[in-house]
Structure 1
Amino acid sequence: MVRGWDELQQWIKQQQELITLQRLLTPAATEWQLRQKPRSYLWYANPRLALLEQVLRSKTNNWLNQLESDFVQHSVNRRKQIVLTRWSLTGLAFMILLSTLLVIWHQLQRTWMQAYAARAENLLQVDPVAGMMLSIRTTGQNRANPFLGVLSPVQASLLNAMQLARESNHLQQTYTQGSASAVAIHPNGQIMASAGNTGQIYLWNLEGEWQGTWQGNGTLITSLDFSPDGSLLIGSGRGDGQPPVVQVWDRSGNLIQFAQAAAPLTAVAFNLDGSQFVTGYADGRIQRWDGQGNLVGNPLPPPASPITALALSLDGQIASGDDLGKIQLWDSQGQPISPPLQSQSAAERSPAIRSLSFSPDGQHLLSNSVSGAVFLWSRRPDAGWEGLPLGATQVSTIFSPVSHAVFRPDRSTLDRSTPDRSTIVSGGEDGTVRLWTLAGQPIGEPMLANNDQIRSVAVSPDQQTIVSGSEDGSIRLWSLRDDNIIRILSFQDALPQTLKSPIGKTALSRDGRMAAIGDADGMVYLWDTQGKLIGQPFRVSEQEVSILHFSETGNELIAGDSSSVRLWDRQGNPVSQPIRHAATLLSEATLSPDGERIISGDFNGNLALWDRQGNLITDSGNPALAERPQETVSSIAFNAQGKVAIGGTVLGRPTGSLCLLDLRATQPTLSLDTCHREASSVVAFSPDGETVAIGGTNGSIRLLNTRTQEWSPPFRGHQQPVTAIAFSPTGDGLTSGSRDGTIRFSNLQGEPIGQPLPSPPDVTGAVTSIAFSEDGRTLTVGNADRKVWLWQSNWRSWLQTACNRLRYHPVMRNPQTEINLGASQTCRSEVFSLPDRPPEPTP
């Protein structure tokens, strides 16, 4: 009974609360209705709403009338709406905060990457290897942010590192003490030898792995050289106050013992092809031998002092050096050519000649003395010789003294049918390695090593690697290979002699996989990028080919001279009839991307539109360009949407026009939509067709947005007129070529990516055409020197080159610092784990 009483009291209390709630609810609902049901009168914030919602949902205890039910339902809905709005606002605020933080983080990342890239650029000037490693690590860090893209400063540091940091390996003679006083590379290009103060020979492969030690007689070795067939290693040197000594090792490292002679052997020299060699002795005698070891002629008359060095040219000239610093030249018959040459004062300490070497053409001679003086001797027209210390014509505050030098022979000129293009490699007292011309002029920038004097340098048989030995015992390998160049094609050299004539025009297909060469006889030759002729040459004119362009697909060409052009297929069959301007000569003609229309321009600024059969559709009537009849149509470019950019220049003046027209109409006209007073020697559309790039006669580049007609600020591209320009396939960068033969990469903000790239060696003349491969990794460049070459053109290729160059370097193999660890990880993930790049497909 007591429990029943408690339940009764609880029920009475609940009923009283419900009666109270109804007394509050009814007038509130009535007022809400009377006031046209405004949201502000709802109970969305009333604590009793939860109980009323239970009553509303109840199927057995719902005492609400219709008005009260509507009031409660609207209150519940309003509460849900407010809660949802609050959550939405909270979420929005969170997203704004997150976005702000992401933008700040993104900007910080960009700032850090730019700072690291700038630091790498600065480091390249003092420690190129460290600069390259920092550039590689920065690229890896940049890659870790997929939303950032590889920034232009990061790409620039990578490109500059690839050009400046030439050191590919660094070895230390830990097996010996003292300097690396002599180095040499085996003719197979796989093994190198070094020698130090103990007279031992240390062998290495080019990956820096020690291969063994050969024992000598304990005499300091100052010069090493392999015989041309690699069967012998000759070392020469001397102890303090002792005469020079020659030691010879066989392939197995055994020291060869010579038969007792009247005087000790003090010098040995082979000519470049190994067909002859000469030996010198302590009594001053010189003997000549053929390649089989047979004596040739009688010994040469001995000078007054022991022979310390010899050199033998291909034509049989002999140069001998002695203890007094004198050099005697002999002809192939053993007769003295001229009075002895004196490389330095006989009073100087250690004037003895350490080594001698002839250039391949025999017109130049290098002499290295024990004291470190290096002289370059050149034959005068009167058959005499004159010499100066290498680098003596340069300012001494810029170039430190050279301590050792050798020729880097161009073996393609050994038959003397072409001028000798050999160069000189030197090591300096400041630890730098430098290249020189045969005239003694420096080539490019020095390669930095350390502050210790370089005692010896040697060049690999393929001329692409230098080995240097330093006072501190370190041995460095330097890459002379221009890894940025994939291939150089000289189409003129590939032609049969009967077909050769001066080249008139070069054109590239859009994907860079084909080149068309037009010559002065009106012939056109098609080539692939492997240097193979495609089909048979065909004639397009009786005069010099001055207009030549591929179609968008590469299956057809516009070709001809200034009097007429035609559309041709790749087999040389004419597709259109001849296209001519009645009053003046043609300056340019281009085919539309769909291959249906041709626009031609002339030297008076007139334009004409033709169908693909060569039928005239319309012409401009009067000169269309702004400068009127003085202006020449210099360049024409289509985009995929049917817009055309016309570039014009005025001969001899830095003026001209860029004009736009639209050919999308059913009945197109040559009424120019817009003309800008901008001299435009070359024009190109971006891949999306929204931007036009123009190259000016003053070397500058500008971009025009074709929708807004807004110009970018001009940015300096080159020192001379821009002669070719192209956007990258992704449209985020462009490449330009100049009359001076240089190539420059830039982003669309005008920021240069690295320094301008010069033309490859032995390539001269203006850049005439540029084309990217479809993946953007290869740039094909044609020039006025009858050559086409392929460049690596994006950061992925540059990163691969940088990583591969340092693949065997201790900083990559055994990284010890945070920077080196990061660079090593980047190379392992981005380069070393990837297969070699496949060859370019053949069209």
Structure 2
Amino acid sequence: TMRNKNDSGDVDMDDDGVDDDDDDDDDDEMGMADDVIDMTSICKFGPDDVDAEAEEVVNELQLLTEDISNKENEQSDWKIPNRDVFNKNTNNANWIKNEPVDEMVDNNLDLALGLGELAQLTVNNESESNADVVDMKTASRKTWNAKYTLRSHFDGVRALAFHPTESILITASEDHTMKLWNLQKTVAPKKSASLDVEPLYTFRSHTGPVFCLAISKNGEHCYSGGLDNVIKVWSMPSVNIDPYDSYDKNILINTLEGHEDAVWGISVHHNRSELLSCSADGSIKLWSPTNLKSPCLSSYVSDQDETPTSVDYVRDVEGQFVASYNSSHCVIYDIETKSPITRLECSKDPAEMATQLIHRVKCHPTLPLTITAHDDHHIRFFDNNTGKMVHSMVAHLDAVTSLAVDPNGLYLLSGSHDSSIRIWNLESKTCVQEITAHRKKLDESILDVAFHPSEAYIASAGADSLVKVFV
């Protein structure tokens, strides 16, 4: 039946029962769909048309649309290549601006990387052909971080040495004592969330400051020398020793007497139970430390030089050692014949020699290379076969006092009175990390550094009576 709107106001229905008003509404909706939706007109709807939640969604859509439009119009001049530590052509971080790098920005980046004031002297540009090789080395290079501060000595710490296989460190001090530390046994100190290490054992026998220290390659014995002219031979205490046990006198095995003045340095043989010592009396002595009757095997004195300052075994050739002298030269000796083989000279100018005092000498573990630390802020490298200096570099801002080479011969660790330790890549002769480790005391700061032979530890000894351990 069909109903039409009559005079009384009734609504007439079509044959299909659909309201005419509904048809009009549908037509209006179809018309709106054909037009583009105007977001601003939607936003002007009143509360009766759109609730608060819908209005919030619409506003967010508007903001998003405007943000995308703005970003499309902006022109950025930054590009991001590989996220490596260094860019090989600029020595800067790899967020490289298209414009030339400003010198001030370059310096700030060097400081942020911890390369210090001498970064420009030691960090060189790498060739593009070696970029892939350098990338791999940079990615695998370890960054050292402070782990422990060892506080127990009452005066400057002159020397330290790691056990060859255990997490054990022995330190020697001007307070006449040596201390044994187990880095795996930590305690929580008062008012601190970090861990601390307490000494397990204190070696007491020297009657003066202890200047040098070494541990045998099997880790069973320890040797120390000092101002009292003697070398003490110690049995290594157990790592499980109770620090509150009574003092064990049997720890001291032997006292090596023969030097007539202070013992400056000690070096142990890498295979045999032998050690070398150098003294202020002008002599170098070879010892069999466990021989109680006649421990001194040989004595070496240079006719051209005065006082030896440091000594080390040559590692790549059997039967040789190198000694540094206060004349700023080094001499390589044949152990059997006692004769000099090669003389390593920095300079022949007396004025220059006066400033080039050698504090420490180290031999590379696998190469015919001798490395020396000097009072004139330099580290120098010598070829053992020719005696020629192959490289020289300003390494610190003050005297370089100590050196250590990692067991693989890849990195060099140096300590200085400028209060920093630096790690060097031996292949490129560049500084890869600088750490400010100790405070100065009477113009002295870092007195010794060491690599652990088999574990990821390095350590530094300071005139401030502290020992810092890094992992």
TM-score by length of 2: 0.58
Corresponding residue to 1:526 among 165, 177, 180: 180
- SS of alignment partner, residue 712 of structure 1: strand
Distance 2:375 2:215 in 1: 24
Detail structure 1 runs of 4+ shifted over 6 Å in the superposition: 761-764
| Aligned residue runs from structure 1 range 482-631, under 5 A | 484-492=144-152, 501-509=154-162, 513-529=167-183, 530=186, 531-533=196-198, 535-562=200-227, 563-571=229-237, 573=250, 577-581=254-258, 583-614=260-291, 615-620=295-300, 623-624=301-302, 626-628=304-306, 631=307
Contact kept in structure 2, 1:522 and 1:560, CA below 8 Å: no
Shift in Å, 1:790: 2.9
Shift in Å, 1:712: 1.4
| Aligned residue runs from structure 1 range 444-463, under 5 A | none
2:400 aligned with 1:725 = no
Q: Deviations over 1:381-416 (max 9, x none)?
A: xxxxxxxxxxxxxxxxxxxxxxxxxxxxxxxxxxxx
In structure 2, give the amino acid aligned to 1:545. Answer: V
Fraction of identical pairs, as percent: 15
Indicate the RMSD between aligned Cα atoms, in angstroms. Answer: 4.0
- SS of alignment partner, residue 578 of structure 1: strand
For residue 422 of structure 1, what is the aligned residue in structure 2? none
Contact kept in structure 2, 1:155 and 1:753, CA below 8 Å: no
Contact kept in structure 2, 1:633 and 1:646, CA below 8 Å: no
2:325 aligned with 1:672 = no
Shift in Å, 1:696: 1.2
Contact kept in structure 2, 1:635 and 1:680, CA below 8 Å: no
For residue 308 of structure 2, what is the aligned residue in structure 1? 632
In structure 2, give the amino acid aligned to 1:522. Answer: H
| Aligned residue runs from structure 1 range 242-641, under 5 A | 484-492=144-152, 501-509=154-162, 513-529=167-183, 530=186, 531-533=196-198, 535-562=200-227, 563-571=229-237, 573=250, 577-581=254-258, 583-614=260-291, 615-620=295-300, 623-624=301-302, 626-628=304-306, 631-639=307-315, 641=317
Shift in Å, 1:708: 4.0
Corresponding residue to 2:465 among 767, 775, 786: 786
For residue 312 of structure 1, what is the aligned residue in structure 2? none
Mark the CA change 1:535 to 1:647 in structure 2 (over 3 Å): closer, same or farther.
Answer: same
Distance 1:705 1:781 in 2: 28
Instruction: Report which of the two has the higher share of helix.
Output: 1
- SS of alignment partner, residue 88 of structure 2: helix
Distance 1:660 1:743 in 2: 28
Contact kept in structure 1, 2:162 and 2:215, CA below 8 Å: yes
TM-score by length of 1: 0.34
Answer with 1 or 2: which has the greater Rg: 1
Contact kept in structure 2, 1:509 and 1:551, CA below 8 Å: no
Contact kept in structure 2, 1:729 and 1:776, CA below 8 Å: no
Shift in Å, 1:537: 1.7
Corresponding residue to 1:712 among 373, 390, 398: 390
Shift in Å, 1:123: 7.6
For residue 753 of structure 1, what is the aligned residue in structure 2? 431
- SS of alignment partner, residue 148 of structure 1: helix
In structure 1, give the amino acid aligned to 2:322. Answer: I
Mark the CA change 1:743 to 1:148 in structure 2 (over 3 Å): closer, same or farther.
Answer: same
| Aligned residue runs from structure 1 range 154-303, under 5 A | none
Distance 2:296 2:234 in 1: 17
Distance 1:709 1:155 in 2: 35
Mark the CA change 1:657 to 1:151 in structure 2 (over 3 Å): closer, same or farther.
Answer: farther
Contact kept in structure 1, 2:225 and 2:266, CA below 8 Å: no
| Aligned residue runs from structure 1 range 678-693, under 5 A | 678=346, 679-693=357-371
* Structure 1: gaps spanning 5 or more residues: 1-111, 134-141, 160-482, 493-499, 793-843
In structure 1, give the amino acid aligned to 2:88. Answer: Q
- SS of alignment partner, residue 605 of structure 1: coil
Shift in Å, 1:698: 0.9
Distance 2:380 2:437 in 1: 23
Distance 1:705 1:777 in 2: 29
Shift in Å, 1:565: 0.8
In structure 2, give the amino acid aligned to 1:639. Answer: R
Shift in Å, 1:744: 1.9
For residue 741 of structure 1, what is the aligned residue in structure 2? 419
In structure 2, give the amino acid aligned to 1:697. Answer: D
Contact kept in structure 2, 1:508 and 1:549, CA below 8 Å: yes
- SS of alignment partner, residue 385 of structure 2: coil
Q: Deviations over 1:475-507 (max 9, x none)?
A: xxxxxxxx9533131322xxxxxxx64345331
For residue 53 of structure 2, what is the aligned residue in structure 1? none
Shift in Å, 1:709: 3.4
* Structure 2: gaps spanning 5 or more residues: 1-85, 114-126, 187-195, 238-248, 347-356
Contact kept in structure 1, 2:371 and 2:381, CA below 8 Å: yes
Corresponding residue to 2:331 among 652, 655, 659: 659
Mark the CA change 1:574 to 1:674 in structure 2 (over 3 Å): closer, same or farther.
Answer: farther
Distance 1:116 1:777 in 2: 31
Q: Deviations over 1:745-774 (max 9, x none)?
A: 222356432564322689995222222345
Mark the CA change 1:753 to 1:589 in structure 2 (over 3 Å): closer, same or farther.
Answer: closer
For residue 340 of structure 1, what is the aligned residue in structure 2? none
Mark the CA change 1:741 to 1:510 in structure 2 (over 3 Å): closer, same or farther.
Answer: farther
- SS of alignment partner, residue 688 of structure 1: coil
In structure 2, give the amino acid aligned to 1:748. Answer: L
Distance 1:553 1:747 in 2: 28
